[in-house]
Structure 1
Amino acid sequence: MSLIHRLDARSPEFDAALTRLLAYDASQDEAIETAVRDILHDVRTRGDAAILDYTARFDHVRADRLEALEIPRADWQAALDGLPADQRAALEAAADRVRRYHEHQRAETWTYTEPDGTVLGQQVTPLDRVGLYVPGGKAAYPSSVLMNAIPAKVAGVSELIMVTPTPGGARNPMVLAAAALGGADRVFAIGGAQAVGGLAYGTRTLPAVDKIVGPGNAYVAAAKRRVFGTVGIDMIAGPSEILIVADGSTPAEWLAIDLFSQAEHDELAQAILLCPDGGYLDAVQAAIERLLPAQPRADILRVSLANRGALIRTGSLEQACDIVNRIAPEHLELSVRDPQALLPLVRHAGAIFLGAYSSESLGDYCAGPNHVLPTARTARFSSPLGVYDFQKRSSLIQVSQAGAQTLGRIAATLATGEGLHAHAASASLRLDPQP
């Protein structure tokens, strides 16, 4: 098995080869779907008792009351205070940068007044209550706490309820510290589909939320998909992706490691490099072969790169950008001498990293923009998580008496044409008597 695919965009067979490379089976596992359906029904029916039963079964944490699984705020602060100085400083710096970036995204209410005195506009309000799912155990990501919690609080969300499983009762101190820095209001030591159901439907102890955000395993993703409509969700994320456009000016070792940075997530992750210089692609492949054996997650890297990774020679950087738009990657690195020149050619990508020093890993942790990004080509129609995901908009319509004369006649004519006579009458009643 080849360590990584080599493709040539100038070849007549390229389109078919790229289609095969990008193929990802997102079909839902029937056993998972059945289990999640049953868990959600049980939580909706039995509330706290169901969550306690599943927490004991799956996480081996037993409690008589769900209140006993709420982690006190003092424990979050103790976790923050107990961090090594370098970890705390890094977490605080990341939180500050994420907050400052997202403050630029906050939308405000606006109106305008027409000449006849009619006022139109939009009222922007935050969601009342949001649930944040945070993986626990080995897959514990404090950076995800910051990326989800901070934009919610910047938006003005009144109550942020975090749920995180604690297998065997083990709490991750950095996750709790991030909850303190990110602005969480309550934290519960529960997880899985049962936690998603509790947040969506509400129980005696766990209040129902308006939206659920945050990553999780296949059961969590299936549960979020099922409760959508009862609550909002952020997105259903697929495997991680990185796409790099290079012109050969970046050290080959840098880009080999950048490809590793996403391929190491799991065997389904995708890492692709596009470059018009075949010799440079050879150098990157040599760097991959040289550096991979020393990687702690080398076994995962080998599978990911062999199945879904590729080094692709293009006819030009412009052709590389055409391929970028076809793939619509989660993460895009423009590792070229003049990335600003290529930027107008890129229409579809979750996050764009410009220049050799803008490694994707900086965006994962501390650059500032959100690392919750659309995957599996959804960047063609969706955006990174942001403050706007925690705000909603209501249209404002204040029609003046003069405005009603114009709008009433238009509306009555259109309503009559549609056969909706009460609509027409409602508009016509506001018309001034004709002289």
Structure 2
Amino acid sequence: MQAPAVFMDLSLEDQAQELRKYFKSLGAEISEEKSVKGIEDDLHKIVGVCDSCFKVGNEEEIDAILNSIVSIMVSISLDRGENLILAFSEKLAKAPGQKLGMVALQSLWRLYKNLESTSPLRYHVYYHVVGIACRVGQVKEVFSGVDQLKKEFSACLPSSEQMQKLYRLLHEVLKDNQSELASKVMIELLGTYTSENASYAREDAIKCIVTALADPNTFLLDPLLSLKPVRFLEGELIHDLLSIFVSEKLSSYQQFYNDHKEFVQNQGLNHEQNMKKMRLLSFMQLAECNPEMSFDLIQSELQLEEEEVEAFIIEVLKTKLVRARMDEAMKKVHVSSTMHRTFGKAQWQQLKDLLYLWRANLNNIQEGMKNVAAAQQELVAQQQKA
């Protein structure tokens, strides 16, 4: 979203008086006279009635008025800046309807971009920007990812409590349409807790697990188990369910569901989607140990009907989680590689061994090339003597 530069031809005091007159003409409870206390007090009075412009119905006029207010805000030193910024942000957050919501979003984004990068006030503006962006369907315009968000606040880090509040809001607005990004946000949120306060993050930890399980594109789930707030859930049903998705077979999930149907439903999880995901995860686990699998093995392990096997394998290959070739005639699958369902110490050791093997092979090739080059030079030398 673009952030136009903020500037006005009038002096700040004259701008303030014009704004007073404008809002007075709309019937707002404000006088036309400048405050004897100065421009900051004028601004407080103006912000207090700024939402009365929403009754005008002319988006261009409203944008110009709000832009004038923003131009004063970013041009003066604010002794009571936090209260003023919060009041202005809260007023704009209540802009009714899609069109006025867009105007309010542009004005707050303009304010955010014109505040110094070292200003702690930027956090408060951005928090309300996200809220409005959600309402008008513009979240992608103001949030592209956790890394981008960290860069935005790198010059002035908000407190852990502030970031937790922002991450919760982002998760709430992303969970229905961008589940993968919502999962990353929630994991980042849980990472803000320490051993001392992790026990207070129970609700966030449960949301994180549910979001990850429900996301059709999230398959590497074991990193969640290492998060401190998730550890505090050990012994609870939600932790048991996560553990099943991390490392157990489809039959384990079916048994869990049969024993705790109401629990799964109360978490907002869809049983059929869970079954589909567990079949994919179980297939990945099979592929790790079986470079060649018969259709009968797949049918048995994943509890499929005979006519469902080929269609299932095609779906697996579409995900690119497993690289394999299906032999319909021989009713087999030949696996060339697979994403690991879990990535722990054993997988790191396997990767280390593979890299050492590659290095050894490259050394052998290099030595071979040296021998070939030496033999070639010796042959040339002999030919020259002859």
TM range (shorter): under 0.3
Q: Which has the larger radius of gyration?
A: 2
The structure where helix makes up a greater share of residues is 2
When normalised by structure 1's length, the TM-score is 0.20
The structure where strand makes up a greater share of residues is 1
- Structure with the greater relative contact order (CA < 8 A, sep ≥ 6): 1 or 2? 1
